[in-house]
């Protein structure tokens, strides 16, 4: 193990466990690129023993202030007591069973009552369950096959959506075609090239591709998409899996950009770490939804549903959206001021609740990787290749602690 920093943090055991793990798991390069290889190997812990509030403890006993929040699901904080208690109460009654528990009805009614564009809802486990189901419903509804997506957008793990071609049959992705983000001309072109064939558009409310500035969908871009869809009688599938609960309290269709989704995919924050995702749709989509195949052994598991009900309750009651916006703004101000004081040029883009940091003149992200590594070695986890997430468990004092570390590391970077 080579470390790029003298041991401010000792992560010896982390790397021993990592080596053991690599011997028995083939996915090191891909899945666990989310772990040590997401940065310079040697800077970040690999395995943890505890996650609580906004802090992680690793196998060497170090604690970290975490701004990745499990890649989005943790919106109230790790191990939120009320959510955990609701889950435990359901778990005591049962979870997987031959018939669904009543909590399924309660959650469905709650979700349908919550979002104006929802006349019905179904639940799965991961976001990918929902984006794949949405494409199926759109194709069934229109009798057409082509799905248009923004180039570079991530919509999940399933074969139609994967960003890398390995293991995907040649030709499988022919029905997935792209346009450029906020590029009205390319939207017109994409519809023109596939005239009469378009089942729908899958869109996130803002661009959150790794390594790029974040950008909200412009009103002109959304209008061009709706114009194309209207001509095709196609379906707008909104992928709100990452942005849901963090860019708007009641959904991205309220952002004022004119999004009128027929189907919306939710996941991540909905369960605060419990595995649950939802597809909601309008009445116009109901018949198509009733005609497609959708099944999974654990889709009706009751414990995550009870957790989700508690999450929605806490989220609304404690005005979590307003709180994470205020926290996110404090973090943005702190990081921008710290970078500027050190004379380091950065761009801090995206919603403050899930921002992305990029260094100027750093096309390969080397400086960013170095900076996040320096921060991790001082106990603060920022991600160099993915947007960060803010949760309700981050207090002002936590943010100030993180900003102090960020500032120290900007100074170090400025001197290198
Ligand atoms: C925008 C977006 N869509 C879909 C997905 C897929 O969700 P999951 O990883 O839960 O399958 C993700 C996950 O990161 C996402 O960010």
Q: Is 371 a residue whose pLDDT tops 60?
A: yes
Of all residues in the chain, what percent carry a pLDDT higher than 90?
A: 75
Instruction: Read off the tokens for 127.
Output: 């976001």
Q: Which of 242, 245, 385, 389 to mutate to test the pocket of ligand 1 (most atoms within 8 A of CB)?
A: 242
For residues 309 and 312, give the distance between their C-alpha atoms in angstroms, rounded to a whole number.
5
The rounded Å distance from CA 241 to ligand 1 centre is 6
Ligand 1 and 273: CB distance under 6 A:
no
- Longest distance between any two alpha carbons in the chain, whole Å: 63
Q: Which of 155, 269, 270 to mutate to test the pocket of ligand 1 (most atoms within 8 A of CB)?
A: 155
Residue (of 12, 104, 169, 77) closest to 300 by Cα position: 104
pLDDT at 391: 98
Convert the pLDDT of each residue in 6-34 to its tens digit: 557 888 898 888 888 878 877 655 444 55
Q: Measured from the CB, is residue 154 less than 6 Å from ligand 1?
A: yes
Under DSSP, is residue 53 helix (H, G, I), strand (E, B) or coil?
A: strand
- Report the pLDDT value the prediction gives residue 253, as an integer from 0 to 100: 65
Closest ligand 1 atom number to CA of residue 156:
6
Please give the DSSP secondary-structure letter assigned to residue 78.
B
Coil, strand, or helix at residue 170?
coil
Helical spans, DSSP H, in 33-162? 81-93, 103-114, 127-142
Ligand 1 contacts CB of residue 128 (under 6 A): yes
For ligand 1, the distance from its centroid to the CA atom of residue 131, given in whole angstroms, is: 8
Report residue 157 CA to chain centroid gap: 13
Q: Which atom of ligand 1 is nearest to the CA of 126?
A: 10
Is the distance from the beta carbon of residue 131 to the nearest atom of ligand 1 less than 6 Å? yes
* Residue nearest to ligand 1 atom 2, measured at CA: 155
pLDDT tens for 193-242 read 999 999 999 999 988 877 788 888 999 999 999 999 999 999 999 999 99
Going by alpha carbons, the residue nearest to atom 8 of ligand 1 is: 127
3 state DSSP class of 349: strand
pLDDT of residue 96: 96
The four Cα atoms 74, 77, 78, 80 give a dihedral, to 10 degrees, of -120
Q: For the chain, what is the mean pLDDT?
A: 91
- What does the pLDDT look like over 100-116, one tens digit per residue? 999 999 999 999 999 88
pLDDT tens, position by position, 42-91 = 788 888 999 999 999 999 999 999 999 999 999 999 999 999 999 999 99
Name residue 347's beta-bridge partners. 358
* Ligand 1 pocket residue status of 132, Cβ below 6 Å: no
Q: Is the pLDDT of residue 336 over 60?
A: yes
Name which residue leads in pLDDT, 117 or 228: 228
Checking if the pLDDT of 37 tops 50, the result is no
Give the H/E segment covering residue 281. Answer: strand 277-281
Summarised one tens digit per residue, pLDDT across range 372-390 is 999 999 999 999 888 999 9
**Residue 239, ligand 1, Cβ within 6 A:** yes
Environment class of residue 49 by beta-carbon count within 10 Å: exposed (0-12), middle (13-18) or buried (19+)?
Answer: exposed
Residue-level pLDDT at 10: 87
Residue 70 beta carbon below 6 angstroms from any ligand 1 atom: no
Question: Could you tell me if the CB of 127 is within 6 A of ligand 1?
Answer: yes
Closest C-alpha to ligand 1, atom 3: 155
Residue pointed to by tokens 């604690």: 63
Question: What was the pLDDT predicted at 2?
Answer: 44
Q: Report the C-alpha gap between 307 and 321 in whole angstroms.
A: 18
What is the arithmetic mean of pLDDT over 391-410? Answer: 98
């Amino acid at each position: 193990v080579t470390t790029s920093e003298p041991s401010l943090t000792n992560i010896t055991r982390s790397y021993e466990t990592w080596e053991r793990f690599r011997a028995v798991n083939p996915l090191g390069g891909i899945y666990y690129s989310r772990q040590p290889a997401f940065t310079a190997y040697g800077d970040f812990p690999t395995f943890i023993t505890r996650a609580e509030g906004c802090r992680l403890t690793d196998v060497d006993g170090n604690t970290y202030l975490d701004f990745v929040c499990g890649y989005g699901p943790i919106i109230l904080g790790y191990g939120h007591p009320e959510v955990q208690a609701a889950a435990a109460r359901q778990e005591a009654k049962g979870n997987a069973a031959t018939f669904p528990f009543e909590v399924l009805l309660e959650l469905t009614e709650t979700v349908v009552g919550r979002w104006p564009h929802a006349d019905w809802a179904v639940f799965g486990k991961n976001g990918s369950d929902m984006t794949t189901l949405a494409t199926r419903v759109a194709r069934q509804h229109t009798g057409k096959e082509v799905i248009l997506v923004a180039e570079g957008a991530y919509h999940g793990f399933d074969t139609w959506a994967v960003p890398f071609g390995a293991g995907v049959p040649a030709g499988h992705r022919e029905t997935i075609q792209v346009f450029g983000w906020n590029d009205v001309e390319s939207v017109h072109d994409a519809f023109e090239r596939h005239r009469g064939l378009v089942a729908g558009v899958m869109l996130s409310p803002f661009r959150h591709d790794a390594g790029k500035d974040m950008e909200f969908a412009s009103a002109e871009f959304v209008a061009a998409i709706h114009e194309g869809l209207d001509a095709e009688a196609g379906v707008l599938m909104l992928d709100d899996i990452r942005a849901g609960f963090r860019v708007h309290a009641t959904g991205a269709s309220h952002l004022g950009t004119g999004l009128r989704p027929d189907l919306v995919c939710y996941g991540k924050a909905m369960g605060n770490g419990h595995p649950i995702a939802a597809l909601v749709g309008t009445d116009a989509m109901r018949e198509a939804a009733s005609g497609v195949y959708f099944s999974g052994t654990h889709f009706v598991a009751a414990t995550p549903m009870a957790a989700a009900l508690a999450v929605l309750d806490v989220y609304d009651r404690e005005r979590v959206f307003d709180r994470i916006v205020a926290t996110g703004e404090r973090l943005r101000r702190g990081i921008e001021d710290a970078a500027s004081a050190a004379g380091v040029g950065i761009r801090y883009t995206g919603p403050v609740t899930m921002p992305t940091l990029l260094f100027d003149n750093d096309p390969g992200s080397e400086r960013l990787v170095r900076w996040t590594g320096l921060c991790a070695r001082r106990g603060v986890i920022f991600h160099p290749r993915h947007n960060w997430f803010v949760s309700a468990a981050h207090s002002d004092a936590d943010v100030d602690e993180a900003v102090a570390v960020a500032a120290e590391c900007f100074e170090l970077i400025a001197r290198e």
